[in-house]
Amino acid sequence: MEPVEDPPMVAKLRSLLNRGARIEITDGRVFMGQFMCIDHSKNIILAGAFESRPTQPLPVDQSTTQTAPGVAEALATLTGDDASKRKPGILKKAPLPEDEKRFVGQVMIPGHHIVKAEMDCSHLRGTDSRLQVPGIFDLNYLRG
């Protein structure tokens, strides 16, 4: 019995095995790890995965948006700049919150929670430096 050749899309998915993947799910979390397998329900298994979730910014209190009297002048004398040259509201800006990351190891992500799946397709590049195939595959063809 002769071996059956894989359909083109199955062959592309097979070439992505053991490559880096980044999966975004419905609640905003992102999983990054090594793509191990996928089934017909689009359930994906990643190995050596990290979970990244955005931290919520702290609520801004209306009382903190106004600069207290004398604070702008005190900062201007400490830094040596003129208070009239500074932009208004510069004191109320807070640093952007960073994502909270943790190692989760091997994880199975249910297909119905997947919003976006990105795979490392660097091995699919030809002699041309431009990517010849899309980095994001539509997995709807697996539904059957």
What band does 70 get if pLDDT is binned at 50, 70 and 90?
low
SS3 122: helix
Sequence-distant (6+) residues with CB within 8 A of 92 are: 60, 64, 65, 67
Instruction: Specify the pLDDT at position 140.
Output: 60
Instruction: Specify the pLDDT at position 79.
Output: 52
Indicate whether 90 pLDDT > 70. Answer: no
Indicate whether 130 pLDDT > 70. Answer: no
Q: How much of the chain, in percent, has pLDDT values that exceed 70? A: 57
CATH number, domain at 144? 2.30.30.100
Number of domains in the chain: 2
102 and 50 both lie in a single domain: yes
Under DSSP, the state recorded for 8 is: H
Of 41, 44, 40, 17, whose CA–CA distance to 30 is shortest?
Answer: 44
The whole-angstrom separation of Cα 54 and Cα 91 is: 24
85 and 74 both lie in a single domain: yes
Domain that holds residue 84: 64-97
pTM equals 0.58
13 and 78 both lie in a single domain: no
Q: Are 33 and 8 in contact (CB under 8 A)?
A: no
